[in-house]
């Protein structure tokens, strides 16, 4: 392991690495979620305020409610990840004699789709509840600033052509239809002194030559 | 506590302006804010402000639901459950309030919106309004409120081009806006490549596109309160964020710097008002009770009480204080909590193969709009709905977590999704529908019987769903937007499904209104046309809570104008003869 994980256990890291590799796979467009350290990002989120739903209303009574009434689980995200991964792996071992990460990718995709559609019966919680959190966190980890541990090498931003922290040149470019292509700059880059900043505090982008985008 | 002339609850768009106006008039003003004090220069400094995860997903400037939330149900037959996480809307919690993180969309309502019931009846007859709707006139008219829109625009440095100057239609502006007494204080935003495509397609179909009014500075600007705001850099990160540049007008950038210099003004942060106190007659407010930062219950006596908080809290404080008759949906009687409303929306995403944009450049509410599908611009005789929408094409600055739109039929994840995201992030534009929402007998706010806040007080309960009228309107507007999309000759377009059922989960808008509405009749309104309580004449309830129903435009400019209007009524009329104003 390349990181010290604060909340996730080793089997959980292996599960998430495998799952996020299917959600955003590595391919000829660039790194996937696993390579972008999304698992490490998720660990940071679970270990922080959000992992215990620190700013969410957490008093009972706890009722299921309708989909329109939103999140009503008594479990925190920490608990949802822990419980769901254990129960999914128990299912994988019972039916396929292997934990999730050792299944062929077709089986992994099939299972992820079942989780997403709430068609996988987990004993303690809705599989969709877990899948939706996992997908939301995967997207965040792939596209949030690298200061949160994911989006390694700005893989997500490079995929989009998003330059990150804005430059002081944007105002002049507002009504210009020329594609603006720059090496992405993160908050982390600025903090580390790896990016140049002008007198007003805007970053100075290094422009890329690109043939009409990707 | 020593008595003061005025106590104001909330330091947002209403509280800051009313405090400024009343302190200017020489009154001793105390403003109580439940949120914390902020320092613009350090909390929202570059580059840290450009953090989508922090400000959009986990924001500590939005309401902390662990202490207080609302409960929600679609209809009265359900059990309301707490909104456990933020989704549909994002009320703020800090000095500056919700307006601190608004998007800067500073549009006026149409003249017709203020006299909706009368105008619809006049043109189409009494029976035309939707069944069970409780829409009504505001009590204030366009001619009365117009100078206060002007005042607000000169505080918030709104940029735009007049479309109607004292009745003369002007080229380049919105020809359907109400007559304005003078030009905007700042020039309009420049048109982006997205805006050009939208404007061309819309013009071909006979619409009149214009640059939507925006409260992010289009040049360096010193406002009515002599506060300087700098020109917007178009770096995005506006809505949900506080501008690092101070270019977006909000209470923190446009009003509070001047207010802090007022000797008769005091701001107390971390003070959560829980009750408006009245004397033994119940007809005179004596002040408010609040819980301070150290948890002490403190009474602040005052000659005038102004509730200037978010629509939910204004309504809840009236209910907790026993002021005004609570609304009863069974009988239709009572007023507090009546006419809660929201806004409606829709989108058509347009995808190109042969164009590449710079979607991350923008913000400051750069948008190109049309207003032909709104208000009384529509002849609705054969359409069968009330209300309408304005439509625009915006460049908010496409942030990478939430602004990735893909063509219809793209899987939600996996390799195909990744490919579609990579291809389309810079090759799409959105046509956005911002629609009105009427108010109805069965849509209301009251106190929840079960769930409590951190102080043990009942949460506010929302009972709300869309009615057929709104769905019908959105479908009609969406058809028009699809025509515009097709005129752009794109590779493909995708019209987002119109929700028939309101859900509290996906973000829609922080445009919640009503619950303490204004009007001309105490049987159907909480406050009169000056935002003065019918029951307690030294209590003013100002904000989105006063809207009897919601128009299509963002509410903030109208909320600001109501604050200016009410403050003026207090200064010019109430102070000379305290008591009910007619």
At B230-243, the pLDDT tens digits run 999 999 999 999 99
- What's the rounded Cα separation, in Å, for the pair B559 and A194? 44
Interface contact flag, A179 B421, Cβ < 8 Å: no
- What's the rounded Cα separation, in Å, for the pair B327 and B339? 9
Nearest CA in chain B to A71: B84
Name the nearest CA neighbour of A1 among A12, B509, B552: A12
Instruction: Give the pLDDT confidence score for residue A213 in this predicted structure.
Output: 45
Interface contact flag, B50 A161, Cβ < 8 Å: no
| Chain B residues closer than 8 Å to A50 by CB | 58
Q: Is B74 near chain A, with CB under 8 Å? A: yes
Phi/psi at B463 (5° precision): -115, 110
B121 to A128, B124, B127, B128: CA distances (angstroms): 48, 5, 8, 7
Instruction: Give the pLDDT confidence score for residue B209 in this predicted structure.
Output: 98
- What are the tokens at B467? 């009615």
Nearest CA in chain A to B232: A171
Query: Which residues 33-72 of chain B have a CB within 8 Å of chain A?
Result: 45-48, 50-53, 57-58, 60, 64-66, 69, 72
Phi/psi at B109 (5° precision): -75, 170
Interface contact flag, B60 A55, Cβ < 8 Å: yes
C-alpha triplet B546, B548, B549: angle, nearest 5°: 120
Judge whether residue A13 has pLDDT over 90. Answer: yes
The full set of domain ranges for chain A reads 10-156, 161-214
Task: Give how far A2 is from chain B: nearest CA, Å.
Answer: 24
Average pLDDT over residues B290-318: 98
B194 Cβ neighbours under 8 A, 6+ residues apart? B357, B359, B368, B393, B394, B395, B429
- What's the rounded Cα separation, in Å, for the pair A80 and A70? 16
Average pLDDT over all residues of chain A? 95
Task: Give how far A212 is from chain B: nearest CA, Å.
Answer: 7
Interface contact flag, B50 A187, Cβ < 8 Å: yes
Judge whether residue A170 has pLDDT over 90. Answer: yes
Pairing of strands B70-73, B458-463: parallel
- What's the rounded Cα separation, in Å, for the pair A155 and A142? 7
Where is B392: in which H helix or E strand? strand B389-394
- Helix-strand-coil percent breakdown of chain B, rounded to 5? 25, 20, 55
Phi-psi region of A118 (alpha: psi -120 to 50; beta: other; left: phi over 0): left
Contact B103, B92 (CB under 8 A): no
Query: Which residues 122-181 of chain B have a CB within 8 Å of chain A?
Result: none
Share of chain A above pLDDT 90, in %: 94
- For domain B4-574, which CATH number applies: 1.10.10.10, 3.50.50.60, 3.60.150.10, 3.60.21.10? 3.50.50.60
At B234-280, the pLDDT tens digits run 999 999 999 988 899 999 999 999 999 999 999 999 999 999 999 99
Judge whether residue A202 has pLDDT over 80. Answer: yes
| Helix runs in B25-84, H state only | 40-43, 52
Instruction: Give the pLDDT confidence score for residue A2 in this predicted structure.
Output: 76
Instruction: Give the pLDDT confidence score for residue A140 in this predicted structure.
Output: 98
At A93-118, the pLDDT tens digits run 999 999 999 999 999 999 999 999 99
| Chain A residues closer than 8 Å to B452 by CB | 59
3-state secondary structure B269-292: CCCEEEEEEECCCCCCEEEEEEEC
pLDDT band for position A210 (50/70/90)?
A: low
**Residue spans of beta strands (DSSP E) within B10-68:** 29-32
Judge whether residue A158 has pLDDT over 80. Answer: yes
Most A CBs within 10 A among B47, B65, B449, hence the mutation to make, goes to B47
Average pLDDT over all residues of chain B? 97
Query: Which residues 93-122 of chain B have a CB within 8 Å of chain A?
Result: none
Active site residue B511: yes
- What are the tokens at B191? 């048109």
- DSSP string covering B416-436: HHHHHHHHHTTSEEEEEEEE-
The full set of domain ranges for chain B reads 4-574
Interface contact flag, B418 A24, Cβ < 8 Å: yes
Interface contact flag, B83 A61, Cβ < 8 Å: no
Peptide bond into A61 cis (omega under 30): yes
Share of chain B above pLDDT 90, in %: 97
- What's the rounded Cα separation, in Å, for the pair A194 and B24? 49
| Chain A residues closer than 8 Å to B61 by CB | none
Instruction: Give the pLDDT confidence score for residue B114 in this predicted structure.
Output: 98
Instruction: Give the pLDDT confidence score for residue B41 in this predicted structure.
Output: 84
Nearest CA in chain B to A210: B356
Nearest CA in chain A to B41: A201
Pairing of strands B389-394, B428-435: antiparallel
**Residue spans of beta strands (DSSP E) within B424-574:** 428-435, 444-452, 458-463, 492-495, 539-541
CA torsion through residues B93, B513, B457, B76, sign: negative
Strand order in the sheet with B492-495: B210-211, B367-370, B389-394, B428-435, B344-351, B492-495
Instruction: Give the pLDDT confidence score for residue A214 in this predicted structure.
Output: 41
Interface contact flag, B236 A166, Cβ < 8 Å: yes
Q: Which of A29, A203, A212 sits opposite B47 (nearest CB)?
A: A203
Query: Which residues 397-416 of chain B have a CB within 8 Å of chain A?
Result: 397-398, 400-401, 404, 412-415
| Chain B residues closer than 8 Å to A145 by CB | 50-53
Between A213 and B475, where is the model more confident?
B475
């Amino acid at each position: 392991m390349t990181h010290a994980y604060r909340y996730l256990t080793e089997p959980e890291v292996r599960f998430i690495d495998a799952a996020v590799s299917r959600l955003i796979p590595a391919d000829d467009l660039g790194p996937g979620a696993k390579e972008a350290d999304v698992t490490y990002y998720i660990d940071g989120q679970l270990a922080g305020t959000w992992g215990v739903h620190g700013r969410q209303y957490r008093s009972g009574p706890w009722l299921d409610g309708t989909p329109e009434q939103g999140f009503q689980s008594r479990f925190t995200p920490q608990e949802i990840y822990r419980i769901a991964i254990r129960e999914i792996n128990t299912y994988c071992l019972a039916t396929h004699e292997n934990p999730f990460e050792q299944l062929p990718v077709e089986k992994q995709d099939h299972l992820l789709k079942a989780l997403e559609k709430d068609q996988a019966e987990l004993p303690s919680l809705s599989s969709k509840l877990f899948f939706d959190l996992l997908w939301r966190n995967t997207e965040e980890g792939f596209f949030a600033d690298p200061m949160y541990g994911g989006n390694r090498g700005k893989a997500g931003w490079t995929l989009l052509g998003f330059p990150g922290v804005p430059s002081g040149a944007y105002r002049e470019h507002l009504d210009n239809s020329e594609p603006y292509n720059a090496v992405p700059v993160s908050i982390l880059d600025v903090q580390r002194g790896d990016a140049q900043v002008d007198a007003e505090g805007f970053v100075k982008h290094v422009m890329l030559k690109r043939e009409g985008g990707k | 506590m020593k008595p003061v002339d005025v106590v104001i609850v909330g330091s947002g768009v209403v509280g800051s302006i009313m405090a400024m106006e009343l302190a200017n008039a020489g009154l001793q003003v105390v403003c109580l804010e439940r949120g914390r004090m902020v320092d613009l220069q350090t909390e929202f400094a570059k580059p840290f402000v450009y953090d989508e995860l922090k400000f959009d997903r986990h924001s500590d400037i939005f309401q902390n639901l662990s202490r207080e939330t609302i409960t929600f149900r679609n209809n009265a037959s359900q059990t309301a459950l707490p909104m456990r996480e933020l989704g549909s809307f994002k009320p703020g919690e800090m000095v500056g309030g919700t307006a601190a993180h608004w998007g800067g969309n500073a549009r006026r309502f149409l003249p017709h919106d203020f006299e909706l019931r009368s105008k619809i009846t006049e043109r189409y007859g009494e029976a035309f309004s939707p069944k069970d709707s409780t829409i009504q006139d505001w009590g204030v008219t366009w001619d009365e409120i117009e100078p206060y829109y002007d005042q607000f625009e000169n505080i918030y440095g709104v940029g735009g081009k007049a479309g109607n100057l004292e009745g003369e239609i002007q080229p380049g502006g919105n020809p359907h806006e109400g007559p304005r007494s003078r030009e905007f204080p700042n020039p309009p935003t420049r048109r982006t490549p997205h805006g050009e495509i939208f404007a061309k397609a819309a013009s071909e179909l006979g619409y009149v596109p214009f640059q939507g009014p925006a409260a992010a500075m289009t040049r360096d600007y010193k406002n009515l309160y002599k506060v300087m705001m700098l020109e917007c850099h178009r770096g995005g990160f506006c809505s949900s964020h506080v501008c690092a540049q101070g270019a977006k007008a909000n209470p923190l950038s446009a009003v509070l710097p001047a207010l802090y210099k007022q000797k008769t003004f005091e701001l107390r942060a971390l003070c959560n008002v829980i009750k408006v106190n009245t004397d033994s007659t119940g007809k005179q407010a004596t002040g408010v009770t609040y819980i301070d930062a150290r948890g002490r219950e403190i009474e602040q006596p005052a000659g005038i009480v102004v509730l200037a908080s978010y629509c939910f809290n204004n309504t809840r404080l009236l209910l907790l204080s026993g002021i005004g008759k609570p609304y009863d949906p069974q009988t239709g009687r009572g007023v507090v909590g009546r006419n809660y409303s929201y806004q409606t929306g829709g989108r058509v995403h347009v995808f190109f193969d042969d164009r590449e944009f710079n979607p991350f450049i923008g913000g400051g509410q750069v948008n190109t709009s049309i207003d032909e599908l709104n208000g009384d611009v529509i002849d609705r005789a054969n359409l069968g709905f009330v209300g309408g929408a304005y439509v625009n094409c915006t460049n908010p600055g496409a942030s990478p977590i939430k602004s990735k739109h893909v063509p219809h039929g793209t899987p939600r994840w996996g390799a195909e999704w990744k490919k579609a995201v990579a291809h389309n992030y810079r090759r799409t534009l959105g046509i956005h529908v911002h629609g009105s929402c009427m108010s109805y007998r069965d849509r209301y706010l009251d106190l929840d019987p079960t769930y409590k806040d951190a102080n043990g007080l009942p949460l506010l309960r929302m009972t709300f769903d869309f009615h057929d009228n709104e769905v019908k309107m959105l479908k009609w507007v969406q058809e028009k937007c699809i025509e515009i999309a097709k005129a752009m000759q794109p590779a493909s377009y995708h019209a987002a499904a119109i929700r028939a059922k309101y859900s509290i989960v996906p973000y829609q808008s922080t445009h919640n209104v009503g619950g303490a509405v204004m009007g001309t009749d105490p049987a159907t309104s909480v406050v009169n046309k000056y935002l003065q309580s019918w029951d307690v004449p030294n209590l003013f309830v100002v904000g989105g809570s006063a809207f009897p129903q919601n128009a299509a435009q963002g509410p903030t400019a109208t909320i600001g104008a109501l604050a200016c209007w009410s403050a003026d009524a207090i200064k010019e009329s109430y102070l000379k003869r305290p008591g009910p104003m007619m």
